[in-house]
Amino acid sequence: MRVRPARPHWTRPSQLDENRHTMPSTTSDPVVARDEIPRFLVEAMRDPFPEYRAWREHAPVCRTPAGFVLTSYAAIDAVMRDDRFIQGGGRHLDRGWERSREAWSRWIIATNPPLHTELRRTMNPPFQPKGVRRLTERVEALVAELLDRLDGRPAFDFVAEVAHPLPMQVICELLGVPEPDRETVGAAAARMAPILGSGEPPEEYVAPGNEASELLLDYFADLCRRRRADPQDDLLSYLIATDLDDDTIVANCQIMFFAGHETTTSLLGSGLLTLLRHPDQLALLREDPDRVGGAVEELLRVCAPVALSQRRAGEDVEVLGVPIPAGSRCLLVIAAGNRDPDRFPDPDRVDILRADNVPHAGSNISFGTGRHFCLGAHLARLEASVTFRRVLERWPSIALADGFEPRWLPSPVFRGLVELPIEVA
């Protein structure tokens, strides 16, 4: 018998009473309040999946004082594909940080048509399969280098040694960040991360985060000037050769730098943890390494490194029969949609051979859907496929360190492991 989970613990009936709440009106002000992510998402970070399920079973499109919370695959997919839902607000920038605020509004992910259409058309080509295939050799070489450095070490932290450095090196190479600058740029990105992925970044993170944002903007502006004078075979030089102005290029270097590594680090870390916790699936992959493509899709589905996103209703809209008034904020809980039993039967079961989770034939929504579908999806899949294949090939035995208890990033948006200590032989 299927046991129905309890209603989410923080939900009082009054909060779910459609008639008793008006939506918070923040659309006219891009600087939104710090409490914009409902507490349940923050509190459920350690093990959010039962909470997500309870929400979906209660109401897949649920009105709350903080906005609508969408937890079914169909609802999230519908909103992402519907141009009446737009991007807007949702970034934590104190007044006084005008420069970052202006830059962040130029991020491709923050824009709406027609600007988004234009940016997407310009930025797309290097990220298409043909462009990404060019990188295969380089990704193979970087993975081999990282794994070679671990030769003779029976135990190490997979996140620190592989999952973090690989995507960082790849995005730096792609953008054209020279080797000696990578540490500084990476450190700035790490300081900025907490203000991006949290509804309520602790006060002490806000000023350093904003300073780091400015440092990155300065860095990419300087690199942009250097590439203009001396173009190279990199993404930055490619963007400079287009019609985009420098401010837009610099801002989008900043977002690509972020989008390109934190998320992939999380997929590699949580993905390996999932395989180690499901030895039958690990065995299937070891038996036939060509199953790695399916494995990556399934790990994307169950791990969902970007657990949630959001949109605003640009006009009155109905989703699955629920009226959503213009201006309403919609939280799209991607990680919940990926475990919707109406879309993926037996959704909590990890199955790398799933026939219903195949790209282009309707797969998981970890990369989003619709116009903002992840620009780096092919690249992330490439990095993950090469890494899992080579890691399993290198070590016939991999085990979690004794007493390992996962610690997750302190973010309800980006779900990733802080560390993954493993023992190899």
Among 197, 368, 412, 416, binds ligand HEM (CB under 6 A): 368
Which CB atom, from 305 or from 412, has the smaller least distance to ligand HEM? 305
CA distance 16 to 20: 8
CA distance 161 to 419: 10
Q: What's the min distance (Å) between Cβ of 376 and ligand HEM?
A: 2
Q: What's the min distance (Å) between Cβ of 254 and ligand HEM?
A: 11
- Cα 277 to Cα 274, 282, 398, 418: the distances in Å are 5, 9, 11, 17
300 contacts: CB under 8 Å, gap ≥ 6: 267, 271, 364, 366, 367, 384
Q: Closest Cα partner for 284 from 330, 350, 346?
A: 350
Among 79, 147, 162, 256, binds ligand HEM (CB under 6 A): 256
336 binds ligand HEM, rule: CB under 6 A: no
Q: Closest Cα partner for 251 from 414, 361, 103?
A: 103
Among 374, 392, 417, 422, binds ligand HEM (CB under 6 A): 374
Among 210, 366, 387, 411, binds ligand HEM (CB under 6 A): 366
- Name beta bridge partners: 63: 68
**Binding pattern to ligand HEM, positions 205-244, x when CB under 6 A?**
----------------------------------------
Q: What's the min distance (Å) between Cβ of 204 and ligand HEM?
A: 28
Which CB atom, from 11 or from 158, has the smaller least distance to ligand HEM? 158
Choose the binding region for ligand HEM from 280-288, 312-320, 353-361, 373-381 (rule: CB under 6 A). Answer: 373-381
- Name beta bridge partners: 309: 332
Query: Closest CB to ligand HEM belongs to which residue?
Result: 376
Which CB atom, from 97 or from 258, has the smaller least distance to ligand HEM? 258
Sign of CA dihedral 376, 244, 229, 221: negative
Site residues for ligand HEM, 260-289, by CB under 6 A, read 260, 263-264, 267
259 binds ligand HEM, rule: CB under 6 A: yes
**Contacts of range 124-127, beta carbons closer than 8 Å, 24 or more positions apart:** 124/375, 126/174, 126/235, 126/238, 127/375, 127/376, 127/377, 127/378, 127/379
305 binds ligand HEM, rule: CB under 6 A: yes
Sign of CA dihedral 363, 365, 369, 374: negative
Helix axes 246-277, 182-196, angle to 10 degrees: 80
Output the six-digit token pair for 15: 């909060």
Choose the binding region for ligand HEM from 13-21, 46-54, 153-161, 374-382 (rule: CB under 6 A). Answer: 374-382
161 secondary structure, DSSP code: I
Q: Closest Cα partner for 360 from 372, 379, 373?
A: 373
Choose the binding region for ligand HEM from 13-21, 66-74, 134-142, 372-380 (rule: CB under 6 A). Answer: 372-380
Which CB atom, from 109 or from 282, has the smaller least distance to ligand HEM? 109
Choose the binding region for ligand HEM from 139-147, 181-189, 345-353, 364-372 (rule: CB under 6 A). Answer: 364-372
How many residues line the site for ligand HEM (CB under 6 A)?
24
420 binds ligand HEM, rule: CB under 6 A: no
Choose the binding region for ligand HEM from 135-143, 153-161, 254-262, 407-415 (rule: CB under 6 A). Answer: 254-262
379 binds ligand HEM, rule: CB under 6 A: yes
User: What is the Cα gyration radius of the chain?
Assistant: 21
Residue-by-residue DSSP string for 282-312: HHHHHH-GGGHHHHHHHHHHHH-SB--EEEE
CA distance 15 to 17: 6
Which CB atom, from 93 or from 119, has the smaller least distance to ligand HEM? 119
**Binding pattern to ligand HEM, positions 42-81, x when CB under 6 A?**
--------------------------------------x-
Which CB atom, from 11 or from 414, has the smaller least distance to ligand HEM? 414
H/E stretch holding 86 reads strand 85-86
Site residues for ligand HEM, 96-125, by CB under 6 A, read 108-109, 120
Site of interaction with ligand HEM (CB under 6 A): 80, 108-109, 120, 255-256, 259-260, 263-264, 267, 305-306, 309, 334, 366-368, 372, 374-376, 379-380
